[in-house]
Amino acid sequence: MQFVASDQGQGFIADRKQAGAIDFSNVLPIVSEQHVEALKAAIADLASKSAMRRVLEYRPTQGIAPHRQAGVSWLERNGVSVDAENVIVTNGAAHGIWTAMASIVEPGDVVATEALVDTSIITNASILKLRLRGVELDEQGIIPEALEEAHRREPIRLLCVTPCYSNPTVTLMRDERRSKIAEIARKYDMSIIEDDVFGPLIPNRPKPIWSFAPERTYYVTSFSKVIAASLRTGYMVGPPRMVPRLVSRLRTTGWMASTWTAEIVSSWLYDGTADKLIDWQRRKLQARHRQLLKVFGKFELSAQPYAMHAWLTLPEQWRSQRFVEQARTRGVLVTPPDPFIVGRSADPHAIRMALGDTNRDDQEFLQGLKRISALLQEEPDPASDY
């Protein structure tokens, strides 16, 4: 049998990138031969089981019982204790967030989020015709007092928040802050979408916001950031009264989540493969974090030991777009802040650097960091103004 998957470095995504560049622009987990062998074994095992038939047919939109039960065990480990009846299987976190947003709010409603936020939230808000408002951040993410003040200006219907390793600023919210955010949401009757796609990477992680306000929180997670990018299986948990509405909205976006990947994820959860691959990911990211600190120790850097990206504030001689352009001429791709800015807030003159990715070994990773560091210490090329 011949497969049509392109070789490494080819295909649609690669076509948009600079050939030969060291790419720090995509937030992806690191994938090894260990992942490949695990997938081969899972596919072979699936082919030999009666489960093969159930992954070839239409299944219930919410997900079949064995997949939802596997989700229960995974969610429990991340601080979300629910019955299988309240678990919805999704095609990843982005699918879950879209489904939740489409279920909670109406056109014209005000949605609050981090002042710098994942681009999917901005896109979703635009498509759903929502009024998106950015809330001031500190090193823990959304500031509770700023959220309350924003609500006084315009009543907020929904808060979208990533308390673990927010994208792009890598903030990590502590338990006390999470409790305060939940308290404000309850006080003003806000719903919350909690994107916890990075949370499972953190050992002894903080409690999810869901644990402080389960009656109004829609918890969304996935395996695409902790194991492999194309493993588009995730879980969503919402208030029980909202499950039928969530399932209805999910049905309109794809009828059901892929049973193939859900079956593979379920088997990995039960046999321990998922834990092994996530532990491996943590170790690799922690090693890259140490390299990051060595290279950028004297710069203003927001980074976390197990995070897949870092946020670097540029020295004052640099503007973000100019730096990104000149980094490209040095064969390094980084992401400017523009795609993450909510509304017309000022450019923070920083860059996001992705630390994972498959197409970059440790030596090339370090080489790319050093190129960025060297450029930071230079003056901008005046020719880039023209």
Separation of alpha carbons 158 and 355, rounded Å: 31
Each residue of 304-350: pLDDT tens digit? 999 999 999 999 999 999 999 999 999 999 999 999 999 988 889 99
Res 98: pLDDT:
98
Separation of alpha carbons 206 and 185, rounded Å: 19
Res 46: pLDDT:
86
Res 16: pLDDT:
44
138 in Cβ contact with 169 (< 8 Å):
no
Within 10 angstroms of residue 225's Cβ, the number of other Cβ atoms is 26
Res 11: pLDDT:
36
75 in Cβ contact with 82 (< 8 Å):
yes
- Which residue do the tokens 């219930």 mark? 60
Identify the segments of the chain with pLDDT beneath 50: 1-4, 6-16, 386
Each residue of 273-313: pLDDT tens digit? 999 999 999 999 999 999 999 999 999 999 999 999 999 99
The DSSP secondary structure of 345-379, one letter per residue, reads PPP--EEEEE---SS--HHHHHHHHHHHHHHHTSP
Question: 48: helix, coil or strand?
Answer: coil
Question: All domains of the chain, ordered by start, with CATH?
Answer: 16-31+275-378 (3.90.1150.10), 57-271 (3.40.640.10)
Res 201: pLDDT:
98
The CA–CA distances, whole Å, from 58 to 53, 68, 254, 369, 376 equal 10, 16, 11, 47, 53
Separation of alpha carbons 253 and 199, rounded Å: 26
What is this structure's pTM?
A: 0.92
Res 358: pLDDT:
60
Angle at 198 between CA 194 and CA 201, to 5 degrees: 135
List the beta strands (DSSP E) in the chain. Answer: 22-23, 87-90, 110-114, 131-135, 137-138, 141-142, 158-161, 191-195, 217-222, 234-237, 300-302, 309-313, 332-333, 350-354
158 in Cβ contact with 108 (< 8 Å):
no
Res 384: pLDDT:
57
What is the DSSP pairing of strand 158-161 with strand 191-195? parallel
Amino acid at site 359: N
142-150 long-range Cβ contacts below 8 angstroms, 24+ apart: 142/112, 142/114, 142/173, 142/181, 144/177, 144/180, 144/181, 144/184, 147/112, 147/181, 147/184, 148/184, 148/188, 150/112
